[in-house]
Amino acid sequence: MNCEETRRALSDSGEVPPDAARHLGTCAECRAWADALAALPARLATWAAPSLSDTFEAKVLASLPIRRRAPRWARVAAEFLIFALGALAGLGAIRVFAPGGDAAARPADPAALGGGVDLADFVTGDSP
């Protein structure tokens, strides 16, 4: 087992596999590395996070990309367009369903199209 394999085995398992133990017996650098690794939890337990400066939050926010809003005229134009489309759709619906409205826009009369075919005849197979 070489140095890299030994260190990977130690950091992955947290234990000392027999091959790694043999390597540690012959390699002073890996023994020092293993000792530092074993001492790491105790060092982390005593570590205190540095306090942030008063301007930290402002600096972070200033470093973020700004999501630019559309210009006011573009928002007003979009709102007007949405309103106009909604109004046109509403007027169109009224024209289609209002009695006496545009005949071409109304659904066709089934009796006029079918030449007097009764739905019951159609279902029973008696239709011409």
Chain residues binding Zn ion by CB under 5 A are 3, 27, 30
Smallest CA-to-CA distance from 22 within 47, 50, 2, 37 is with 2
How many other C-beta atoms can be found within 10 angstroms of the C-beta atom of residue 6? 24
CB nearer Zn ion, residue 10 or residue 30: 30
CB nearer Zn ion, residue 3 or residue 94: 3
What is the closest distance, in whole angstroms, from the C-beta atom of residue 20 to Zn ion in the complex? 9
What is the closest distance, in whole angstroms, from the C-beta atom of residue 22 to Zn ion in the complex? 11
CB nearer Zn ion, residue 9 or residue 30: 30
What is the closest distance, in whole angstroms, from the C-beta atom of residue 37 to Zn ion in the complex? 13
Q: Which ranges of the chain does DSSP label H, i.e. alpha helix?
A: 3-13, 18-26, 28-46, 56-63, 72-97, 110-114, 119-124
